[in-house]
């Protein structure tokens, strides 16, 4: 089944790429019509989909197709030249950049919170300490009424004698990267045994792997006792909202994920010249503890002048008017200094 799905996904991607070559003609307004194809992280997929649809309404000759297949797929397809842009919540490594001959711009277009979702009917205000969070994902806490969870919560929170099912990503995931970076920052045991990565060697008993943020949200939403991790917007869908844990941050405060607490976490982060910065354990008593940038991977130089211009124009809109859509969709708009840095990088894209 997995092989069949993988083949179908590749056929779909290749079909889109084939279409990409055929639609670069002239639009009614005299501008050359261009299709841009992207693949990558599921974390930003909701806002990317909205951005690209809104931009196409304003610029009908520019069409942007995006498939959320995971950060690993985004990097792989981008490096192999199968797409015009990729997307990754873990950016790219120096080795990957070198293999791409340096023809890479890592552009953080937005940021988001990784939330811990769970299904415990009647409990909507669950608190998890740093110790309890790490122990759950290490498989050290197996029951919801474990004393280490109870110690985080008021006596009014009636924790059930119920097995914990940890739902994690089976595909290469930038969301996993962000969670594992945080767990490595708060737990020496996690850092030693699991480390940071897009894929983790998860325990087997009491754990199940699925693909995509939406896959985790769906599985947790139907299984009592389940817990997992997704980007904020996947937990707060209007048709099927999920409960999210209140996490203990570096200052010892218990903080719920909101736009304000996510923005507080970004406030003290400065982007370096290559625009790759991680925030594994942010400072500040008001900061939500698991926040990450997510990167669109563009080329510094495109062989097609029309595509280069289309990428520059689209990305400029995303970093200006498009930022206003971030909060509505549960993402964090870029701090002004960061936004100006990314705009400057976009302006260097050339054919």
| Residue pLDDT, tens place only, 160-219 | 999 999 999 999 999 999 999 999 999 999 999 999 999 999 999 999 999 999 999 999
Tell whether the model's pLDDT for residue 11 goes beyond 70: no
State residue 240's pLDDT score.
84
What is the pLDDT, as a whole number, of residue 22? 35
Q: What is the CA radius of gyration of the chain?
A: 21
Cβ(247)–Cβ(286) below 8 Å: no
Q: Give, as one character, the DSSP assignment of residue 245.
A: P
Neighbours of 7 (CB within 10 A): 10
Structure tokens at 80: 């192999």
* pLDDT the model gives residue 258: 96
Cα–Cα distance list, 62 to 55, 82, 311, 312 (Å): 8, 19, 9, 12
Q: What is the pTM of this model?
A: 0.88
Instruction: Assign 3-class secondary structure to 299-312.
Output: CCECCCHHHHHHHH
Gap between the Cα atoms of 150 and 51, Å rounded: 42
From the centroid of its chain, how far is CA 191?
A: 21
152 token code pair: 């985080």
Q: Does the pLDDT at position 25 exceed 90?
A: no
C-alpha distances in angstroms, 318 versus 219, 273, 309?
Answer: 32, 20, 14
Q: How far apart are CA 163 and CA 146, in angstroms?
A: 10
pLDDT at 317 (0 to 100): 98
Distance CA 18, CA 36 (A): 12
User: What is the residue-averaged pLDDT of the chain?
Assistant: 92
Specify the higher pLDDT residue, 2 or 130: 130
pLDDT of 92 over the 90 cut: yes
pLDDT digits (tens, 9 = 90+) for 46-71: 999 999 999 999 999 999 999 999 99
Is the pLDDT assigned to residue 12 strictly greater than 70? no
Our CA angle for 268, 270, 274, nearest 5°, is: 155
pLDDT at 313 over 50: yes
Take residue 146 and report the two structure tokens written for it: 């474990």
Position 21 scores a pLDDT of 41
Confidence of residue 239 (pLDDT cuts 50, 70, 90): confident
Are the C-beta atoms of residues 65 and 16 closer than 8 Å to each other? yes
Full set of structural domains in the chain with CATH: 2-112+291-346 (3.40.190.10), 113-266 (3.40.190.10)
| Residue-level length of the chain | 351
The answer to whether the CB of 328 falls within 8 A of the CB of 131 is: no
How do residues 281-312 score in pLDDT, each as one tens digit?
999 999 999 999 999 999 999 999 999 999 99
Which tokens belong to 221? 């939403």
How is residue 257 written in tokens?
Answer: 């994920």
User: Given this model, what pLDDT does residue 30 score?
Assistant: 55
């Amino acid at each position: 089944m997995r092989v069949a799905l993988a083949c179908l996904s590749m056929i779909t991607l290749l079909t889109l790429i084939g279409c990409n070559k055929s639609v670069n003609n002239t639009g009614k307004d005299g501008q050359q019509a261009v299709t841009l194809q992207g693949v990558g992280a599921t974390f930003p997929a909701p806002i990317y989909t909205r951005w690209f649809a809104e931009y196409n309404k304003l610029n009908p000759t520019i069409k942007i197709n995006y498939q959320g297949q995971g950060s690993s797929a985004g990097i792989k397809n981008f490096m192999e030249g199968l797409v015009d842009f990729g997307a990754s919540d873990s950016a790219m490594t120096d080795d990957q950049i070198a293999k791409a001959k340096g023809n890479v711009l890592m552009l953080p277009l937005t940021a988001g919170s990784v939330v811990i979702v769970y299904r415990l009917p009647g409990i909507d205000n669950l608190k998890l300490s740093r110790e309890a969070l790490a122990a759950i994902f290490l498989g050290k806490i197996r029951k919801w009424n474990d004393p280490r969870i109870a110690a985080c919560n008021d006596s009014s929170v009636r924790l059930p004698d119920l097995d914990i099912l940890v739902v994690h990503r089976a595909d290469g995931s930038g969301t996993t990267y962000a969670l594992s970076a945080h767990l490595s920052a708060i737990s020496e045991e996690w850092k030693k045994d699991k480390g940071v990565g897009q894929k983790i060697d998860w325990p087997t008993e009491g754990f199940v792997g699925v693909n995509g943020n939406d896959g985790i949200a769906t599985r947790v939403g139907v299984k009592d006792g389940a817990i997992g991790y997704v980007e904020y917007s996947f937990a707060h869908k209007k048709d099927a909202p999920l409960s999210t844990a209140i996490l203990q941050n570096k200052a010892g405060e218990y903080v719920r994920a909101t736009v304000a607490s996510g923005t507080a976490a970004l406030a003290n982060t400065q982007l370096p010249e290559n625009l790759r910065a991680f925030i594994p354990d942010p400072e500040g008593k008001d900061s939500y503890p698991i926040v990450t940038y997510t990167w669109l991977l563009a080329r510094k130089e495109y062989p097609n002048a029309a595509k280069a211009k289309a990428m520059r124009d689209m990305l400029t809109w995303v970093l200006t008017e498009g930022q206003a859509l971030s909060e509505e969709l549960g993402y964090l708009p870029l701090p002004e200094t960061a936004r100006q840095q990314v705009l400057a990088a976009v302006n260097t894209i050339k054919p």
